[in-house]
Structure 1
Amino acid sequence: MTKPSIIPAMIHAIIFDFDGLIFDSETPDFISWQETYGAHGVELSRELWNAHIGTITFDPYLHLEELLGRPIDRDAVWAKRKARDNELLAAQTIMPGVEDYLAEVRELGLKFAIASSSKHSWVDRHLKRLGLFEQFDLIFCSDDVGNVGKPDPAVYQAAIAALGIAPQNGLALEDSPNGVTAAKGAGLWCTAVPNRMTRDLNFDHADYRLNALTDMPLSQLITEVMNGTS
């Protein structure tokens, strides 16, 4: 049963980020790279890493080589680091509140999509592993928009066009400042939902902030965003 009376007419669609919002791949990614740098006797700065969360612009191989002042065997580093990353990823499940939000999206009769800086090969595979792939008819990734990632708004603009909504009728859910920048650049409303990797970053440009999706139901969040009571 839908509850249109409590949903402002302005919001017609919800657009979900993927990494760090639906599935925490960001913590395993950082840990595996931090351990890789440590094995080479150098440190991966958390501040540097955090600045690039949600984007595809940072090259950790190049940065590691710059710190070492010499080339590395990238294939060997990739194999060892990826094995550790996969080990950590296997322990990750759906982020708290995601399934409730997906159920409420349907209950409220809203449209919805995913907009991610990652590639389809990554997003689709993990959605299938988590049992969520069939729930999303619209999944937009960087390889849908010329391999451009956030903070560029291109992937959100593609989602908006496919959803058939005006930007101001959509609400994005994002875990990173770069993601919020992309969503706002596309003209969407945006709620920040930081995870343990991003919770200390600056989200002043978001319209609203939650500590987790479990903080409140989607219908209440939409009302709060529309009322500007962040």
Structure 2
Amino acid sequence: MQSKAVLFDMDGVIVNSERYWVETEQTDILPSAVSGSADTSETTGMNFREIYDYLEARHEMTASKDEFVARYEEAARDIYGEKVDLQANFRDLVADLRAEGRTVALVSSSPHDWISRMLDRFDLRESFDRVISAEEIDAKSKPEPDVYEYAAEQVGVAPEACIAVEDSENGVESAERAGMRVVGYRNQSDERLDLSAADAVAESPEELRSILLGE
């Protein structure tokens, strides 16, 4: 798939953090804050601060928003600082995309300090032309298109000339609503999300490379 810019989501695409977030949410964060049960698939791809508001509208909450946010912050230090692995051959993929003259950006709902922890751990700061967090514009969570509309402006490429790589249903919808083509990426987590709305779906790092570089 040819494009002028490739925009990578972070969680579940660049690093395999989704499996750790699902586990942490199911065993710790949600049980400590929600009376009854909550389905983590509903909130995949959403900004963690907005997850509380989403849950509060649908469930009886047993923790304050400040307590909820603090648990996410604590978990993020552990997940990005210790647990996650980088997608196989990701550095080579990004280098080859940039060698073709394509702009490469990281676009995430996560705050900059979480992103920075990941970038520093894997020494990726020089790999991206732009690193974009939804917190820069107080964007509404995916599936709203805000963060991808902003990303297109920041990289100076029309949305229709961008490809977003996303692992969640909310992320796919967000990029499509912004006018971009989307590659759905199966991140090998336990969740089998419906990525059929994407223009293409990659089941592995090798298939993602083939789709993006036409190999």
With normalisation by structure 1, the TM-score equals: 0.76
What is aligned with 1:194? 186
User: Are 2:83 and 1:91 aligned?
Assistant: yes
Q: Tell me if structure 1 keeps the 8 A contact 2:143–2:174.
A: yes
Give me the whole-angstrom Cα distance separating, in 1, the residues matched to 2:92 and 2:202: 15
Cα offset, 1:61, TM superposition: 11
Give me the whole-angstrom Cα distance separating, in 1, the residues matched to 2:32 and 2:182: 39
What SS class does the counterpart of residue 147 from structure 2 fall into?
helix
What is aligned with 1:171? 163
Cα offset, 1:112, TM superposition: 1.3
Cα offset, 1:142, TM superposition: 1.2
Cα offset, 1:213, TM superposition: 2.1
Q: Tell me if structure 2 keeps the 8 A contact 1:154–1:186.
A: yes
What is aligned with 1:144? 136
What SS class does the counterpart of residue 186 from structure 2 fall into?
coil
Q: Which has the higher strand share?
A: 2
Q: Return the letter of the residue paired with 1:51.
A: E
What fraction of aligned residue pairs are identical, expressed as a percent? 27
Q: Deviations over 1:135-191 (max 9, x none)?
A: 223111111122422111111111111222222211111111111111111111110
What SS class does the counterpart of residue 206 from structure 1 fall into?
coil
Cα offset, 1:85, TM superposition: 5.9
What is aligned with 1:58? 51
Q: Deviations over 1:78-125 (max 9, x none)?
A: 777765664454121212232221121122111111111111121122
What is aligned with 1:4? none
What SS class does the counterpart of residue 58 from structure 1 fall into?
helix
Q: Tell me if structure 2 keeps the 8 A contact 1:23–1:92.
A: yes
User: Are 2:169 and 1:180 aligned?
Assistant: no
User: Are 2:145 and 1:153 aligned?
Assistant: yes
Residue 154 of structure 2, aligned match among 146, 158, 162: 162
Cα offset, 1:221, TM superposition: 3.4
Q: Return the letter of the residue paired with 1:35.
A: T
What SS class does the counterpart of residue 50 from structure 1 fall into?
helix
Q: Which runs of no fewer than 5 residues in structure 1 stay unpaired?
A: 1-6, 225-230
Q: Aligned-residue CA RMSD in angstroms?
A: 3.1
Q: Return the letter of the residue paired with 1:136.
A: F
Q: Return the letter of the residue paired with 2:151.
A: A
Cα offset, 1:215, TM superposition: 2.2
Give me the whole-angstrom Cα distance separating, in 2, the residues matched to 1:202 and 1:33: 20
Q: Tell me if structure 1 keeps the 8 A contact 2:110–2:133.
A: yes
Aligned in 2, Cα 1:216/1:176: closer, same or farther, shift over 3 Å? closer
Listed as ranges, the matches of 1:1-230 within 5 Å are 8=2, 11-36=3-28, 44-45=37-38, 48-56=39-47, 57-59=50-52, 66=59, 71-72=62-63, 86-89=77-80, 90-197=82-189, 200-215=192-207, 217-218=209-210, 220-221=211-212, 223=214
Q: Which runs of no fewer than 5 residues in structure 2 stay unpaired?
A: none
